[in-house]
């Protein structure tokens, strides 16, 4: 889904979290989302990102289209002006083979997810 440029309508907030939605957006949509978040946060504000993991540089397919390469996510968020602070294995699932659609009954609720924390400098 493409999301045009937009504003969250608030300024100088401390924290913005996004849970499992960046994978639904086109590269342009993610760029616009990251810019809107950057513009909303105050200096030192935090941006938390959680999404379904895709293997690094894995080709797109109908099976994995709702997964996102965490390296790509880091690059895109940093391109918006953020600095990576940390990552967490909180949502790591070793048994997720990273090859099935996240909506499959056997996968739903059991996907490996990356968890990233960024700061607005």
Residue 57 has pLDDT above 90, yes or no: no
CB 76 within 8 A of CB 30: yes
Q: Count other C-beta atoms under 10 Å from residue 102's C-beta.
A: 23
Mean predicted lDDT score pLDDT of the chain: 90
Please name the fold of domain 13-119.
Rossmann fold (3.40.50)
Which pLDDT score, from 0 to 100, does residue 86 have?
97
Q: Count other C-beta atoms under 10 Å from residue 22's C-beta.
A: 20
Which pLDDT score, from 0 to 100, does residue 104 have?
78
**In sequence order, which residues have a C-beta less than 8 Å from that of residue 67 and are 6 or more positions away?**
23, 51, 52, 53, 54, 98, 102, 111
Sheet containing strand 83-88, strands side by side: 13-19, 41-52, 113-119, 83-88
Residue closest to 12 by CA, chosen among 54, 57, 34, 44:
44
- Segment 66-92 shows an average pLDDT of 94
By percentage, how much of the chain surpasses pLDDT 90? 56
């Amino acid at each position: 889904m493409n999301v045009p440029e937009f504003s969250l309508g608030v300024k100088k907030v401390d924290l913005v979290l996004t849970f499992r939605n960046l994978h639904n957006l086109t590269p342009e949509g993610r760029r616009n989302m990251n810019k809107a978040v950057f513009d909303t946060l105050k200096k030192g504000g935090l941006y938390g990102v959680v999404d379904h993991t895709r293997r690094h540089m894995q080709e797109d397919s109908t099976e994995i289209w709702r997964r996102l390469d965490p390296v790509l996510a880091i690059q895109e968020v940093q391109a918006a002006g953020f600095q990576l602070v940390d990552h967490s294995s909180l949502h790591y699932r070793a048994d997720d083979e990273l090859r099935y659609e996240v909506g499959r009954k056997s996968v739903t609720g059991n996907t490996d997810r990356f968890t990233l924390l960024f700061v607005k400098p």
